[in-house]
């Protein structure tokens, strides 16, 4: 039962370590969780140490965005010259490959991504796909233009767990016009197995 009074008075951020430990101390769903696994539940800590050491997080000012072509903007997110969005910091994902019409995002699933059933929440794959597909469309745009998601569809075909290891979402442009762009995306593990796939439609607008 929802109790807004109790939630409103709880101080500080959610303790993800406590959320995992109540499920059975150091063991859950047949896996023994190490200290590093549990620390990874902190949304401000990322297993992808490279992300933590070479990336900044924040919002790119409109004036700066207007001065960059779409591919310059996305390349800046990938090489660290521009800050990644704060959701990337929260979930621990990174933009690792950029080409015209193609973007790859990657993440290492960990205990902080679990749903109540003990597998990785579908929102992680959805966020990776939304980012990769949307930014793939952004790479096609001229200076002074950006994109935003109008709708996207995702199909989950295999479960993702912390044991899955590194997963990558590849977004590829299908069509890009003056007002609407469409793209498709696939999430795969390191063995190339498809974990999820989707499509998106984005609105293209002037900054």
Quick: pLDDT tens for 156-180: 999 999 999 999 999 999 999 999 9
Total domains in the chain come to: 1
Sign (positive/negative) of CA torsion 91, 171, 164, 96? negative
Q: What is the dihedral of CA 68, 103, 44, 14, to 10 degrees?
A: 110
Angle between helices 122-138 and 70-79 (to 10 degrees): 130
pLDDT value at position 101? 98
Measured distance CA(187)–CA(169) in Å, rounded: 4
129 part of a folded domain: yes
Domain membership of residue 93 (yes or no) is yes
Domain, as residue range, for 200: 48-206
Quick check: is 146 in a domain? yes
Residue 55's pLDDT is 84
* 132 in any annotated domain: yes
What is the separation of C-alpha 55 from the centre of its chain, rounded to a whole number of angstroms? 14
- pLDDT value at residue 51: 54
The CATH number for 140's domain is: 3.10.129.10
Residue 7 lies in a domain: no
Average pLDDT, the chain: 82
- Look at residue 20 and tell me if it is in a domain: no
Asked, for residue 65, whether it belongs to a domain, the answer is yes
Q: Which pLDDT value is given to residue 105?
A: 97
Q: Does residue 16 sit within a domain?
A: no
DSSP 3-state helix, strand, coil percentages of the chain (rounded to 5)? 30, 30, 35
Given a cut of 50, the residues of the chain with pLDDT beneath it are 1-29, 32-36, 38-47, 49
């Amino acid at each position: 039962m929802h109790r807004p009074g109790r939630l409103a008075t709880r101080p500080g951020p959610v303790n993800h370590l406590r959320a995992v430990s109540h499920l059975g101390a150091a063991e859950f769903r047949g896996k023994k969780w190490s200290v590093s696994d549990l620390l990874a539940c902190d949304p401000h800590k990322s297993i992808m140490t490279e992300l933590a050491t070479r990336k900044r997080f924040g919002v790119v000012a409109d004036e700066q965005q207007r001065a960059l072509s779409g591919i310059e903007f996305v390349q800046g997110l990938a090489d660290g010259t521009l800050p990644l969005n704060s959701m990337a910091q929260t979930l621990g994902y990174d933009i690792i490959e950029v080409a015209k019409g193609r973007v790859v995002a990657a993440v290492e699933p960990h205990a902080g991504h679990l749903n109540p059933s003990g597998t990785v929440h579908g929102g992680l794959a959805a966020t990776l796909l939304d980012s990769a597909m949307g930014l793939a469309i952004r790479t096609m745009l001229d200076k002074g233009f950006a994109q935003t998601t109008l709708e996207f569809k995702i199909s989950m075909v295999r479960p993702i767990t912390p044991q899955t290891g590194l997963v990558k979402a590849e977004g590829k442009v299908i069509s890009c016009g003056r007002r609407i762009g469409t793209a498709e995306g696939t999430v795969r593990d390191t063995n190339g197995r498809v974990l999820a796939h989707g499509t998106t439609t984005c609105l293209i607008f002037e900054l």
